[in-house]
Amino acid sequence: MTEHGTGPTAGAREAVFDLAVNRAAAYRRGLGPAAPLEVWQARTRFAARVDLGRVREALDTEPGEGQWHWSGGPSGGWHPGRARTP
């Protein structure tokens, strides 16, 4: 048995969270910071698998200038440049 948060599915969960944060960030860049994330979540099939509150928390820490992407799952952070996954 693996510890909670480890094992083969942990990486997949982190990748889904990273994708959700990066896609939600792109959504907000396109529509503005007041864009309702619930609408994005309802229209994005995989987004129901992540905690919208945690996605919102990550977005609230996004650096302002330049291009950034989220990496590292829920405990990750912002990194300069584009994400490897669109």
**Do the Cβ atoms of 24 and 55 come closer than 8 Å?**
yes
| Mean pLDDT of all residues in 52-81 | 94
Pull the structure tokens for residue 20. 């959700």
CA atoms within 13 A on the CB side of 51: 9
Task: Inform me whether the pLDDT recorded for 4 exceeds 70.
Answer: no
Would you say how long the chain is, in residues?
86
CA–CA dist 61, 49 (Å, integer) = 21
Examine residue 2 and state whether it is found in any structural domain, yes or no.
no
Which pLDDT value is given to residue 7?
58
Answer yes or no: is 64 within a domain: yes
Percent of the chain with pLDDT over 90: 59
- Does residue 24 lie in a domain region? yes
* 4, part of any domain: no
What integer pLDDT is reported at residue 77 of this predicted model?
97
Helix ranges, the chain (H): 8-31, 37-43, 52-60
The answer to whether residue 1 sits within a structural domain is no
pTM of the prediction? 0.82
Residue 85 included in any domain:
no
Answer with the residue of higher pLDDT: 9 or 48: 48
User: What's the total number of domains in the chain?
Assistant: 1
